[in-house]
Copies of this chain bind each other. A is one copy, B any other.
Amino acid sequence: MSDTVLSSATREVVIGFDRPFVIIGERINPTGRRKLAEELTAGDFSTVVADAIAQVEAGAHMLDVNAGIPLADEPAILAQAIELVQSITDVPLCIDSSIVEALEAGLAVYRGKALVNSVTGEEERLESVLPLVKKYGAAVVAISNDETGISEDPDVRFAVARRIVERAADHGIARADVVVDPLVMPIGAMGTAGRQVFRLVRRLRDELGVNTTCGASNIAFGLPSRHALSAAFLTMAATSGMTSAITNALSPDIQRAAAAADVLLGHDPDCMTWIGRYRDGGAGGGAATSDGAGGRRRGGREGRRRATAQEP
Please determine whether A224 and B194 come into contact, CB atoms closer than 8 angstroms: no
- Set of chain B residues within 8 Å of A223, measured between Cβ atoms: 263, 271, 274-275, 278
Instruction: Give Cα A231–Cα B278 distance, bound, in whole angstroms.
Output: 15
Is A240 positioned at the interface, with any CB of B under 8 Å from its CB? Answer: yes
Please determine whether A198 and B239 come into contact, CB atoms closer than 8 angstroms: yes
- Set of chain B residues within 8 Å of A208, measured between Cβ atoms: none
**Contact size class for A?**
35 or more
Residue of B219, B256, B266 touching A195 (CB-CB under 8 A): B266
Instruction: Give Cα A192–Cα B195 distance, bound, in whole angstroms.
Output: 25
Is A232 positioned at the interface, with any CB of B under 8 Å from its CB? Answer: yes
A238 and chain B: residue at smallest CB distance: B236
Please determine whether B188 and A225 come into contact, CB atoms closer than 8 angstroms: no
Is A233 positioned at the interface, with any CB of B under 8 Å from its CB? Answer: yes
- Set of chain B residues within 8 Å of A187, measured between Cβ atoms: 263-264, 271
Can you list 7 A-B pairs, Cβ within 8 angstroms, ordered by A? Answer: A191-B269, A194-B265, A198-B239, A223-B278, A224-B278, A233-B264, A236-B236
Please determine whether A274 and B229 come into contact, CB atoms closer than 8 angstroms: yes
Please determine whether B266 and A225 come into contact, CB atoms closer than 8 angstroms: no
Is A30 positioned at the interface, with any CB of B under 8 Å from its CB? Answer: no
**Most-contacted residue by chain B among A188, A260, A278, A279 (CB, 10 A):** A260
Is A70 positioned at the interface, with any CB of B under 8 Å from its CB? Answer: no
Is A206 positioned at the interface, with any CB of B under 8 Å from its CB? Answer: no
Please determine whether B194 and A264 come into contact, CB atoms closer than 8 angstroms: yes
**Most-contacted residue by chain B among A187, A232, A260, A275 (CB, 10 A):** A232
- Set of chain B residues within 8 Å of A266, measured between Cβ atoms: 191-192, 194-195
* Interface-facing stretch out of A44-52, A280-288, A302-310: A280-288
- Set of chain B residues within 8 Å of A278, measured between Cβ atoms: 223-225, 228
Q: Which of A232-260 contact B (CB under 8 A)?
A: 232-233, 235-236, 238-240, 256-257, 260
Residue of B195, B263, B275, B284 touching A194 (CB-CB under 8 A): B263
Given contacts A232-B235, A233-B264, A239-B240, contact A284 B225 (CB under 8 A): yes
